[in-house]
Amino acid sequence: MNITYYRPALMALFFLFLFSGCINSNNENKKPIAQVYDKYLYISDVEDIFPENVNSADSIQLLMAYADRWVRKQLLLNRAEKNLSDSQKNVSKQIDDYRSSLLIFKYEQEFIRQRLDTIVSDEEIERFYKENNSNFVLNESIVKALFIKIRLDDPYYEKIKNLYKSSKEEDIKALDNLAYQVATKYDFFNDKWIPFSRILRELPEPLNNPERYLLSNKSIEVNDGTQAYLISFREIMHQGQLAPIGFEKNNIQSIIINKRKQRLIMDLESKIYSDARNHNHFNLFVN
């Protein structure tokens, strides 16, 4: 099998490439670094694979990995060429379709990049929320919560345990100062709504029937024998209720921006079509 890695030459060419910064000599560019049957991989083919400021050891690994992938690809291509029928290998239409789709996509993305307004006002968000609130029904419960993970043998454990469910301002401040210093993990999630499932992932064991648990409980206290997990729910919204606008804000922003993108593309297509029709740039030969 005519498959060759030019490893010694590859290393020599690589160091020439590395220390000169680039290879300008046409002779150097034409030196192969790998061969599969009658196909060759040249230094000029790999000049763009190296990130800036990459060290020599990493560059060698990159180059060898690239050459190995190239060899594998050429071997598969050679096998496909030998084993597929002529009709199966006739992929010119698919290539043309792919090229057309890719060019259109690139042009549309550039058109959007130049014209898209990505600023979404609070008024737009609120209006969209009100007009489409049936789409924002919760499929799981969400909470505003305080989460503390602390060692059971920590000398401040009992004090934190006595404070974490309190809603008094002075207790909250005391807990905040203390938990930041001694807790293994302390998070109040920026006082934002989060899915209840996010809390459940922090626990050492699954919670039985979590949705029902939330109906009658405002806190969770469990331990794994070493660490205690203390969760206090400040607010709860249950599955089936309308999600608060703050919870859906980012989602609504994305929807509005995507609608703007779609509108830009539709307007672009309509304008191109109208201009071509007005200037007789196309004909439809169908009734």
CATH numbers and ranges of domains, the chain? 3-89 (no CATH), 103-134+246-282 (no CATH), 138-237 (3.10.50)
Number of Cβ within 10 Å of residue 158's Cβ equals 9
pLDDT per position as a tens digit, 256-275:
999 999 999 999 999 999 99
pLDDT per position as a tens digit, 64-105:
889 899 999 999 999 998 998 988 888 888 999 999 999 999
Summarize the confidence of residues 140-169 as an average pLDDT.
95
**pLDDT at position 283:** 87
Who has greater pLDDT, 174 or 284? 174
User: In whole angstroms, how large is the CA radius of gyration of the chain?
Assistant: 31
Q: What share of the chain is helix, strand, coil (3-state, %, to 5)?
A: 55, 15, 30
Query: Given pLDDT bands bounded at 50, 70 and 90, which one contains residue 44?
Result: confident
Contacts of range 132-139, beta carbons closer than 8 Å, 24 or more positions apart: 133/242, 136/242, 136/243, 136/248, 137/240, 137/241, 137/242, 137/243, 138/237, 138/238, 138/239, 138/240, 138/241, 138/242, 138/243, 139/239
**pLDDT beyond 80 at 284:** yes
**pLDDT at position 55:** 78
**pLDDT at position 22:** 44
Q: Which residues pair with 217 in a beta bridge?
A: none
**pLDDT beyond 50 at 253:** yes
**pLDDT at position 3:** 58
**pLDDT at position 60:** 83
Indicate whether this model's pTM tops 0.95: no
Residue 142 and residue 197: Cα distance in Å, rounded? 8
Residue 43 and residue 24: Cα distance in Å, rounded? 11
- DSSP labels for 177-226? HHHHHH-SEEE-GGG--EEHHHHHTTSSSPPSSHHHHHHH-SEEEEE-SS
Summarize the confidence of residues 203-230 as an average pLDDT.
93
Tell me the two tokens of residue 30: 């034409």
**pLDDT at position 4:** 62
**pLDDT beyond 50 at 154:** yes
What rounded mean pLDDT belongs to the chain? Answer: 88
Residue 271 and residue 110: Cα distance in Å, rounded? 17
**pLDDT beyond 80 at 19:** no
Who has greater pLDDT, 198 or 61? 198
Residue 23 and residue 123: Cα distance in Å, rounded? 57
